[in-house]
Amino acid sequence: MIQKQRKISMGFSDEKLLEGQHIIYLYNDDRERKKTMASFLQQGLLENEKLLYLVDDISPEEMQKELSLLGVDVQRVNNCFDITAGHYACCPDHYFTAEFMLKTVGEFYEQAIQNGFTGARGAGEMSWALVEGRATVEELLNYEAQLNHILQRHPLTTVCQYDARRFDGALIMDLLSVHPMMIVRGQLVKNPSYVKPEIFLQEYRERQQRSSRLDH
Amino acid sequence: MNNVPDFQTLHKVILIQSTIHLLQDKKSLIRFVCRGFSELPWLSSVGLFLQGEYVSEGSPASPGRDDSQNLFDALANSSHLKKEQDAELTAFEERHGLKCIKAATSFEVYGFLLVRPSDEKRFQEFRPYLENTMNLIALRAENEEQNKIIRRHQEDLESLIAERTRALKESEQKYRTLFHSIRDALLVADLQRTIISCNQAFTDLFGYSLEEIQGCRTEILYADSSQFPRLGKRLQDKAYDPNLFITIDYKKKSGEAFPGETNIFGFVDAEGCEIGYIGLIRDISVQLKAEQERVRYEQLLRQAQKMEAIGTLAGGIAHDFNNILASVIGYTELAMCDAQKKSLLYENLNEVLTAGNRARDLIRQILAISRHEDQSKQVVPINPLIKEALKMLRSTVPTSIEFKEDIDGKTFNVQADPTQIHQVMVNLVTNAMQAMDSHEGTIEVCLDAYCFEDWIKQKALHLTPGEYVRLSVSDTGSGIAEDQIDKIFEPYYTTKEKGAGTGLGLAVVHGIVKSHGGLITVYSEEGKGSTFHVYLPLAQNQTLKQTAAESEEPLPTGTEHILLIDDELPIVKMQQQSLERLGYVVTAKTRSREALETFRSSPDKFNLVITDMTMPEMTGDKLAAAVKAINSEVAVILCTGFSEQIEAHKENIVLDGYLMKPVDKTRMATTVRKVLDSYSQGPVPGS
């Protein structure tokens, strides 16, 4: 089901953008990040959107309290706000697959519309992916690249939060390549490094092959 | 030539630059930058060396880690000479066929970027942006270094603070322990004398808790409120010596006052400015009481010593006077034997004898003062003695004076001369009666047990340790002025009108009491009355003796041979006559050595030796010993004016009897007969 895309406010930025933006948020300041995300989610509530927050650093209950303290009216409407552990939502079988996750994103958005919400927005802390054996870099990059296509059909406005203190610099550069928008110091900017998903994935695979040859 | 910048590439470089600050891990940063630059289309390979870390991407491969490290070392060693560094870089670039961009600040080289441009023109077009990125990386590295230094300093500082805090805590704990372990009350106050703190001893002494006293002014502590401004002025004028102690009357929370020995000193801040006072307070009420007691006992001791001196003087005079009296009484008695009874001569001689006897009594009283009188001490219950004396006195005291007595309780046995105890009572009650001029009031007599507080006091007063009976005689008379109290026991001291008293009453009491090993004290308040306390030691485990009244019997006589020695010719002649009149054969001598020779020449000739004590050449005790050595079957009687001399020699010589001067004929006759009779059944030591 394709609807006419709305222009929405991100809450932390003045300009209005089309819903379904795929945003990367590189951060190394938790206070700033939570404040930015609180504005993003609170704006979603104001725009009658279904919210999804995948937490990782702290428990869902603790995040709910923190967001509440930061002004998010988490109790405003029943069932409008899902706060879940990231690894639980993304890796139900203890292993991350892009396919499952992409399907979940689409379903979440469609269900929100069916439940009368005007749209949906989600924010996810991605550090769960650093746990050994949970996800491969390739699968993660594949998901992030493919998500751009999914969001065109199911415009779930998405903020992927990557902790710059914990993720490898090279991977960060690759992740930047698959997010059209990015948040820099609380400001939303267009990502100049963004590469179309197919091109990125092709280049990535070629690079991997070169690297593999060199290793041998 | 295309001069239009490739904005996509430019933005990508700017993105890299703006993201650098987020990547805290150095290796992660290198990989981020290396990956980012490797995606630039006109660079075929990229290598980045930063502070020992090296990453490269693309092909042909960049120089290896070792080459990069060597270049870094060369740049670092060339110090800050840009020219030398540039030369090193140029050489390296030529050697490896690549371009090298330093990551350096004005002070330090942190690393470099190694790139192989596939499009030299594009490379040169973007070189400033790449250099700018490397500068940012260098600044970040420098910033990181500085942060490390700051963090290290901060850690050092925190460690120092933690150490100091711990030391401070330890110091504070030590101070607190010291503060509270001081046994004197310690008070800390500010310059306005508002209490800041106090120690445990303070709260214990004053009864206030710290919370109660904090914030109060020290005024609350003084028994006399005027002390606060007075002391305040002294403190303000710095008119106090911190080395001196002052005594201040304080008041406890309960209202009880006490004297406190106080030491006040100021305390200063780090700049040396006085910011308050510390007061050390010690409760000296116990010490003061002890000091007062000590002074009182010292006075008593001085009094006792004075009485001792007076007694010694009186005793000496009495001794000489006794010898004179002995002649007067003895010869009078002899003369009366020769005179016709009821004749004028006999009557006149009788008057002389009466006067002599009165003089003898007077001497006895003087000797009593000096303890030189013969005493017939025996263990007797004192209660009936006192009761008997009161019974006799009751008839002489005006009925307007009420008698109260409390002497029927426990019976107290004392080693005493009953006659003298009687005398003590007579004198004390007479004194009490005379103290009540109006002949109205109350005389109270009581007996109770008393134990001196401690051995030291007993020792100071030369008292024998043990339990005492206390005889108290109180009156409600005029009392004694404070300045007179020390003199009342002195002989011939009297406040009465001339002729109303002899001034010997209390002196005699003092002498008697002292001769009994006791103590007399007086407590008096002018206008209210006086109480005399007589302390006599209780007799321990001694058999009670019943006082037996002496009976009048005819003088015993005898025919034995007596050797009589006295250095006073009149006395020896008088005693010879007396003994001869009783039927004895008497050989009289005035020199002891001659007497001994006489005895030695005929030791069996004599039945009895009567010798004076104090004689030149050989004293009586030595003569007695010599006589006994020659013939132990011969009895010896020692004759002296000092009973103490006999007491002193009793254990060294075997005496069969002794006579106190002046010796009247009755005592002489009975003693001589008694000793001789006892010798007819074998010698009996002592009498």
pLDDT tens, residue by residue, B326-335: 888 888 988 8
| Cβ proximity of B204 and B210 under 8 Å | no
Q: A192: which chain B residues are within 8 Å (Cβ-Cβ)?
A: 8, 11-12, 14-15
| pLDDT attached to residue A39 | 93
| Inter-chain residue contact B59 with A167, CB threshold 8 Å | no
Give B414's DSSP letter. Answer: E
| 3-state SS track over A105-146 | HHHHHHHHHHCCCCEEEEEEECHHHHCCCCCCHHHHHHHHHH
Would you call A28 an interface residue with chain B, using a CB distance cutoff of 8 Å?
Answer: yes
Supply A180's token pair: 């059209």
Q: How confident is the model at residue B550 (pLDDT cuts 50, 70, 90)?
A: very low
Of B27, B35, B59, the CB nearest to A173: B35
Among all residues of chain A, which has the CA nearest to that of B23? Answer: A164
Q: B18: which chain A residues are within 8 Å (Cβ-Cβ)?
A: 184
Q: What's the angle, vertex CA B270, arms to CA B266 and CA B273, rounded to 5?
A: 45
Q: What percent of chain B has pLDDT over 90?
A: 25
Would you call B28 an interface residue with chain A, using a CB distance cutoff of 8 Å?
Answer: yes
Residues B322-350 have a mean pLDDT of 86
| Cβ proximity of B518 and B468 under 8 Å | yes
Q: B22: which chain A residues are within 8 Å (Cβ-Cβ)?
A: 26-28, 164
Supply B7's token pair: 């904005």
Of B11, B18, B29, the CB nearest to A169: B29
| pLDDT attached to residue B135 | 92
| Cβ proximity of A12 and A149 under 8 Å | no
Tell whether the model's pLDDT for residue B293 goes beyond 60: yes
Fold of A18-211: Rossmann fold (3.40.50)
Instruction: Give the closest-approach CA distance of A170 to chain B in angstroms.
Output: 4
Which residue's entry shows tokens 């002497």? Answer: B407
| Cβ proximity of B649 and B556 under 8 Å | no
Supply B90's token pair: 């140029």
Instruction: Give the closest-approach CA distance of B21 to chain A in angstroms.
Output: 9
- Distance, CA of B100 to CA of B47 (rounded, Å): 9
* Chain A interface, best mutation among B14, B18, B22, by max A CB count within 10 A: B22
- Distance, CA of A9 to CA of A48 (rounded, Å): 12
| Cβ proximity of B13 and B101 under 8 Å | no
Q: What's the angle, vertex CA A94, arms to CA A88 and CA A97, rounded to 5?
A: 90
- Distance, CA of B233 to CA of A189 (rounded, Å): 78
pLDDT tens across B521-532, in order?
888 888 889 999
Where is pLDDT greater, at B540 or A7?
A: A7
Residues B68-83 have a mean pLDDT of 82
Would you call A165 an interface residue with chain B, using a CB distance cutoff of 8 Å?
Answer: yes
- Distance, CA of B308 to CA of B391 (rounded, Å): 33
Tell whether the model's pLDDT for residue B683 goes beyond 50: no
| Inter-chain residue contact A26 with B35, CB threshold 8 Å | no
Would you call A168 an interface residue with chain B, using a CB distance cutoff of 8 Å?
Answer: yes
| Inter-chain residue contact B25 with A165, CB threshold 8 Å | yes
| pLDDT attached to residue B643 | 55
| pLDDT attached to residue B244 | 65
**Which of A112-126, B39-53, B165-179, B489-503 has the least mean pLDDT?**
B489-503
Three-state secondary structure call for residue B555: coil
Tell whether the model's pLDDT for residue B221 goes beyond 90: yes
Mean pLDDT for each 10-residue chunk of chain A (216 residues)?
77 90 93 92 92 91 90 77 86 87 94 93 92 88 94 95 93 94 87 90 87 66
Among all residues of chain B, which has the CA nearest to that of A182? Answer: B15
| pLDDT attached to residue B245 | 75
Where is pLDDT greater, at B390 or B600?
A: B600
| pLDDT attached to residue B242 | 66
Would you call B287 an interface residue with chain A, using a CB distance cutoff of 8 Å?
Answer: no
Three-state secondary structure call for residue B419: helix
CA–CA distance from A29 to each of A33, B142, B630 (Å)?
A: 6, 21, 129
Give B194's DSSP letter. Answer: B
Q: A164: which chain B residues are within 8 Å (Cβ-Cβ)?
A: 19, 22-24, 28
Residue B649 belongs to what H/E stretch?
A: helix B643-649
Q: A191: which chain B residues are within 8 Å (Cβ-Cβ)?
A: 15
Instruction: Give the closest-approach CA distance of B151 to chain A in angstroms.
Output: 19
- Distance, CA of A147 to CA of A156 (rounded, Å): 10
Q: Is B485 left (phi over 0), alpha (psi -120 to 50) or beta?
A: alpha
Would you call A192 an interface residue with chain B, using a CB distance cutoff of 8 Å?
Answer: yes
- Distance, CA of B395 to CA of B429 (rounded, Å): 12
Q: B47: which chain A residues are within 8 Å (Cβ-Cβ)?
A: none
pLDDT tens across B108-128, in order?
889 999 999 999 988 998 999
Would you call A215 an interface residue with chain B, using a CB distance cutoff of 8 Å?
Answer: no
Which residue's entry shows tokens 């407590």? Answer: B523
| pLDDT attached to residue B384 | 85
Instruction: Give the closest-approach CA distance of B216 to chain A in angstroms.
Output: 47
Every domain of chain A and the residues it spans: 18-211
- Distance, CA of B638 to CA of B660 (rounded, Å): 9
Please name which of A212, A177, A154, A165 lies closest in space to residue A30, comparing C-alpha atoms: A165
Would you call A169 an interface residue with chain B, using a CB distance cutoff of 8 Å?
Answer: yes
| Cβ proximity of B110 and B51 under 8 Å | yes
Supply B470's token pair: 């206390």
Would you call B152 an interface residue with chain A, using a CB distance cutoff of 8 Å?
Answer: no
Neighbour tally for B315: CB within 10 Å: 21
Would you call A172 an interface residue with chain B, using a CB distance cutoff of 8 Å?
Answer: yes
* Positive or negative: CA dihedral B28, B29, B34, B39: positive
| pLDDT attached to residue B454 | 63
Would you call A196 an interface residue with chain B, using a CB distance cutoff of 8 Å?
Answer: no
* Positive or negative: CA dihedral B349, B355, B360, B363: negative
Tell whether the model's pLDDT for residue B430 goes beyond 80: yes
pLDDT tens across A15-65, in order?
899 999 999 999 999 999 999 999 999 999 999 999 999 999 889 889 989
The torsion angles phi and psi of A131, rounded to 5 degrees, stand at -65, 130
pLDDT tens across B586-614, in order?
999 999 999 999 999 999 899 999 998 88
Q: B28: which chain A residues are within 8 Å (Cβ-Cβ)?
A: 164, 167-169, 172
Distant-in-sequence, close-in-space partners of B578: CB < 8 Å, separation ≥ 6: B330, B333, B334, B665, B668, B669
| Inter-chain residue contact A169 with B15, CB threshold 8 Å | no
| pLDDT attached to residue B649 | 58
Please name which of B138, B108, B112 lies closest in space to residue B37, comparing C-alpha atoms: B112
pLDDT tens across B125-152, in order?
899 999 999 999 999 888 888 888 998 9
Among all residues of chain B, which has the CA nearest to that of A168? Answer: B28
Q: A199: which chain B residues are within 8 Å (Cβ-Cβ)?
A: none
Please name which of A21, A26, A23, A16 lies closest in space to residue A46, comparing C-alpha atoms: A16
DSSP states along B333-400: HHHHHHSPTTSHHHHHHHHHHHHHHHHHHHHHHHHHHHT-S----EEEEHHHHHHHHHHHHHTTS-TT
| pLDDT attached to residue A14 | 84
Q: How confident is the model at residue B551 (pLDDT cuts 50, 70, 90)?
A: very low
Please name which of B677, B675, B648 lies closest in space to residue B659, comparing C-alpha atoms: B675
pTM of the model: 0.50
| pLDDT attached to residue B402 | 86
Residues B250-272 have a mean pLDDT of 89
| pLDDT attached to residue B296 | 80
Determine the angle formed by the axes of helices B665-680 and B569-581, rounding to 10 degrees.
60
Torsion of CA A172, A175, A180, A186, to 10 degrees: -40
Count of residues for chain A? Answer: 216
Q: How confident is the model at residue B686 (pLDDT cuts 50, 70, 90)?
A: very low
Would you call B31 an interface residue with chain A, using a CB distance cutoff of 8 Å?
Answer: yes
Query: Residue type at A161?
Result: Q
| Inter-chain residue contact B24 with A167, CB threshold 8 Å | no
Q: How confident is the model at residue B4 (pLDDT cuts 50, 70, 90)?
A: low
User: What is the gyration radius of the CA atoms in chain B, in angstroms?
Assistant: 58
Q: Which residues of B384-393 are buried (b: 16+ CB within 10 A; e: fewer)?
A: ebbbebbeeb
Residues B400-422 have a mean pLDDT of 84
Give B556's DSSP letter. Answer: P
Distant-in-sequence, close-in-space partners of B311: CB < 8 Å, separation ≥ 6: B369, B370, B371, B372, B511, B514
Supply B550's token pair: 């002496």
Tell whether the model's pLDDT for residue B300 goes beyond 80: no
| Inter-chain residue contact B32 with A169, CB threshold 8 Å | yes
- Distance, CA of A29 to CA of A39 (rounded, Å): 16
Among all residues of chain B, which has the CA nearest to that of A27? Answer: B22
Strands (E), B451-494: 468-475
| 3-state SS track over B143-170 | HHHHHHHHHHHHHHHHHHHHHHHHHHHH
Count of residues for chain B? Answer: 687
Three-state secondary structure call for residue A153: helix
Average pLDDT, chain B: 83
Residues B568-579 have a mean pLDDT of 87
